[in-house]
Every structure is written in structure tokens, then in C-alpha cells.
Amino acid sequence: MSIHLKLNGTERELEVDPEMPLLWALRDVLGLTGTKYGCGQALCGACVVHLDGEAVRACVTPVSRAEGRHVTTIEGLSADGSHPLQKAWVELAVPQCGFCQSGQIMTAAALLAKKPQPSDSEIDRSMSGNLCRCGTYTRIRCAIKKAAGLPHE
Ligand code: FES
Ligand code: FES
């Protein structure tokens, strides 16, 4: 079946099983490997991308749900790494191994698009489903606040 979507601003057509997880379509069919596979069960947040601006878990989202919609992956967040979150992530050296980080950034980006100046509890609530085995949570929270122009340490 043909699936049409707008991927990072470009029209794409895929010939895939409509039940294929969006994550596999992105990584294996389209070669966008910035989105990671962690658990495959919507438990870790490593695979978060945006579907029409909403953060979704690509490992449990059938590619058919993306039909006619905008999909944004970490590769499409900005053309040149200039998104405020990307800049803050670099300045605060957030990642350790890095595996969870594109999911973290995409979840944070969906939050800031809706709430440009989130409270601490809104940040905590939005980010609570994104696990980091390296424990970079403190730096993630600081970077989100920095990107939002809020005081951070
Ligand atoms: S890989 Fe999708 S939530 Fe863990
Ligand atoms: S930086 Fe290693 S899992 Fe988060």
C-alpha cells in the first residue's frame, strides 16, 4: 500500500505494509537513523517523533497513521542545529552515551512548541516518560529551561 507523508518538509511516498511501525519505516526504509529503538513497547521514549507537531512513539505507531500528515524527526528539527534546544543541548553537554537523546529533544520540542515557558512541573510531567539509562535528567531539565529562556543552573 502507498503511504504519502510530508517528512521533514518533503513529500514522500512509501510502499510498505500499513501496519509497519513508523519507526521501521523511518529507520529501515527511509534511512533516518536519528530516531532510536529502545523498548518497542512505548515505555522508554527513545523513538519519539512529531506527527503534526504532537510527540508520538514511533515504535507503536503504524505507518498508516502518518498518511497525509507531517512527520518531523530529529533530522528535521532544524536544518542546521539552530533550534534553541539543540543549541542548549550542546552548550550544556547534555548527552552521555546519547542513545536516548533524540527522543528527549523531540519530546521537549513538542512541549516548548505548545508551552514556550513551561513550569518545572510541566517539564517534569512532559519528560517523565523519556528514560535515560545514563541518568542525564538534571542536565536535560537545565537545557530545556535554557532553551526556554528561563533561569537554570
Ligand atoms: S522504543 Fe518506542 S518507546 Fe521505547
Ligand atoms: S544519554 Fe545514555 S541513555 Fe540517555
Given the CA of residue 58, which atom of ligand 1 is nearest to it? 2
Ligand nearest to the CA of 39: 1
Note whether 11 and 72 are same-domain residues: yes
pLDDT of residue 82: 96
Residue 58, all three cell numbers: 514511533
Asked whether residue 6 is domain-assigned, the answer is: yes
What CATH number corresponds to the domain at position 88? Answer: 1.10.150.120
Note whether 93 and 52 are same-domain residues: no
Note whether 59 and 90 are same-domain residues: no
Asked whether residue 139 is domain-assigned, the answer is: yes
Q: At what angle do helices 137-147 and 101-114 cross, to 10 degrees?
A: 40
Overall average pLDDT of the 90-99 stretch: 98
CA dist., res. 121 & res. 148, Å (int): 14
- CA 120 / ligand 1 centre spacing (Å): 24
Ligand nearest to the CA of 45: 1
Given the CA of residue 133, which atom of ligand 2 is nearest to it? 3
Overall average pLDDT of the 82-91 stretch: 97
Alpha carbons within 13 angstroms on the beta-carbon side of residue 47 total: 21
Which residues line the pocket of ligand 1, CB cutoff 6 A? 37-40, 42-47, 57, 59
Note whether 66 and 130 are same-domain residues: no
pLDDT of residue 153: 74
pTM to 2 decimals?
A: 0.97
Note whether 100 and 63 are same-domain residues: no
CA dist., res. 139 & res. 153, Å (int): 9
CB 46 within 8 A of CB 27: no
Note whether 72 and 8 are same-domain residues: yes
Q: In which residue are the cell numbers 511501525 written? A: 21
The answer on pLDDT for 9 being more than 90 is yes
Position 1 confidence tier, pLDDT thresholds 50, 70, 90: confident
Asked whether residue 153 is domain-assigned, the answer is: no
Where among 45, 76, 107 does a domain terminate? 76
- CA 1 / ligand 1 centre spacing (Å): 25
CA dist., res. 72 & res. 136, Å (int): 24
Where among 23, 50, 76 does a domain terminate? 76
**Helix, strand, or coil (residue 102):** helix
